[in-house]
Structure formats: structure tokens, C-alpha cells
Amino acid sequence: MMETTPKPLLGLTLQELRTLATDLGMPAFSGNQIAQWLYQQHVGSIDQMTNLSKKNRERLQQVCTVGCMAHVERLESVDGTVKYLFPTLSGKRIESVFIPDKDRGTLCVSCQVGCKMNCLFCQTGKQGFEGNLTVADILNQVYMLPERERLTNIVFMGQGEPMDNLDNVLRATQVLTSSDGFAWSPRRITVSSVGIRGKLERFLDESDCHVAISLHSPLHEQRAHLMPAERSMPVAEVVELLKNYDFAHQRRLSFEYIVFDGVNDSMVHVREIVKLLRGLDCRINLIRYHSIPGIDLKGTTDKKMNSLRDYLTQHGIFTTIRASRGEDIFAACGMLNTSREAGRLT
């Protein structure tokens, strides 16, 4: 008889858990109990689901596993940022970053092993693409985070392009925000994208989570050099698409802008940004560049960063300079990578 791989329970919706229960000859309400054990109690094994009969736990164990896996390595920065290395169900490894800041705790989650986008400045892109994370892999980063009780926000800004694994990202955010799941508000979750034709529109239609667009240059040819995805979906088209949606109320739209010295930090660039984003209710996050091996780019000065922020703010675009966190443990923006031998963090 052929052995089958146990199915992870983590990531299943309430209705799917109820269907699973009845398929196994259990009462449908057992699905509700399983959901509570998963998303409220965060159990590590089916044996811990003690209000299921022993016989039903055994039935469940024959075909399922919780699907949670603890981190295999941990690094802490001098600034308190913590990077974790998590295994995946396929035997790969991915990195997640917890960023504490006073009464706020943000988790930067990954959605792919590596990335297809190959942005010039991103270490994850240099890894190449090794596979999509499952819904369980994505949620496991939250489920098994030691600081889970301190979490206030989740950002899909780790390894991978969320729109390139859209089905699983949407399912993960559905479980995160469902009252039968983690019961998070979608306003506490931000999903980033470089802009992928068709996929971004579907995400905007099917999710209420905040949206962050990787901009990095308002000039087509320059952005295409920095970000090959610009060729298939120019940022001008992304902006036109975004104008069809309401970001004036609860849902927030932001643009991420890594600032490179002598590349995208001129007055020409900020004027073009103002022109590009006119009519959009949005904000801009200016990000310091963190050097990666083999790439001839460097970050601009604090003076220039402040000048760009002030110009954009004065011209009606709320702009902040994002604090750099975790650079000493390679946890800062654009530095995540798990291609090193044995998945070592450093």
C-alpha cells in the first residue's frame, strides 16, 4: 500500500476542517474544535486536541499533521531585531524577521524560497527561484514565532514576490483575518508587490489588506534596469490600476523607495514621483540601501534622504524615512537569502 504524506491542518478554513471531519467519520462540529485548537490555542500536535475522543484523534493522525515546525536558527541584532530560519514542508528553508519597536511588533514574512523578480539590489533575487511556500509554510512563520504574543503587524516583505504566489498568499491572509482563524484585522497586514499584470488586480479585488508597491524609480528605463518586472507591467500602469480603488479610508497604499546615491536621489526623480502619483491617496517610505556583494550601488546621505522627504511632503505626499533595522545580521530590506550551504543564516 502506497504511503501518503500527512496533510497539514494549518491553513485550512473552518469549512474545510468541517468537511475533513465528516470525511473521517467524525461529527462536523469536530471541525470547529480543531479550528479552535489551531488558531486560538496554537497546539503543536493532534494529541493536544483533548476534547476530541482518542479514536478521533487517531483517525485524524492517520492523514493529517498540525503542520507547524519550530525555527532551526535564530540571530538577534544589536538593535533588537531577530531573524529566524524556518524549515518548510518541502525541506527548504526561509527567513523571517521580527522587528520590535516600543509597543509595536512587526513580523516580516516570506512567501517564496528565493524569487523570480531578480531586482538588481536584492539579495533574495540573486538566490534565484526555488519554489512557492504552501499556506502552512507561510502561516507557520506566525504560528511558531516565539514573540507571537507581541505581534501587532505582519508585512509580506520577506523572501519572494507575493503576487507570484497569489493563491497561497490570499489563502494565508484569509485565515489570518477570518474570525474562525487568527482573527486579525486586515488593517494590521501589508502585502507588497513589484506589480504583476493580472495578479495585482485580483489581490486588490479579493483582499482588504494594505498594499505596498515597490517603486524605486519613477523613470521607466531606469526602473526596468533596477527591476525587470517594469518591462511587463510599467509602474505607470500600476498607478492607473490603483486609481480604481479607494485608499482614502481604512485601507492604506504605500510606495517603497530604496534610495541609491547618484542613481535615483535627484530633484528630477522627486518631481517625477509627484507627477506620477498625483491623484492617489498614498504615502512613500524612503528606505536606506544596504549593500549586497557584487552590486555597484551605495546608499545616499542622510542629508539627501531628508531633502527628498521634505520635498515630497511639501508637495502633498506624506513621506517617512524608514529606520534601518537588523543590518548586522543581514535582516534588513533586500538582504534575506537562504541559498548558502545548509541554509546557514550567516
The Cα–Cα gap between 164 and 264 comes to 26
Catalytic residue flag (residue 333): yes
CB atoms within 10 A of CB 176: 21
Catalytic residue flag (residue 115): no
Query: Could you tell me which residues come within 8 angstroms of residue 238 by beta carbon, excluding any fewer than 6 positions away?
Result: 195, 200, 213
DSSP H or E segment with residue 212: strand 210-214
DSSP H or E segment with residue 304: helix 302-314
Query: What separation in angstroms does the CA of 64 have from each of 17, 20, 21, 110, 137?
Result: 11, 10, 11, 24, 15
Strand-pairing partners, residue 257, are 286
The Cα–Cα gap between 215 and 209 comes to 19
Query: What separation in angstroms does the CA of 183 have from each of 34, 152, 175, 187?
Result: 15, 12, 8, 12
Given a contact cutoff of 8 angstroms between Cβ atoms, the answer to whether 131 and 112 are in contact is: yes
DSSP H or E segment with residue 216: none
Nine-digit cell string for 79: 538593535
- Which residue is associated with the grid cell 509580506? 156
Given a contact cutoff of 8 angstroms between Cβ atoms, the answer to whether 121 and 260 are in contact is: yes
Q: One of 64, 68, 209, 333 is an active-site residue; which one?
A: 333
Count Cβ atoms within 10 A of the Cβ of residue 42 and give its class: 0-12 exposed, 13-18 middle, 19 or more buried. Answer: middle
Q: One of 64, 68, 95, 115 is an active-site residue; which one?
A: 95
Query: What separation in angstroms does the CA of 329 have from each of 83, 115, 336?
Result: 7, 20, 10
**So which residues are the catalytic ones?**
95, 333
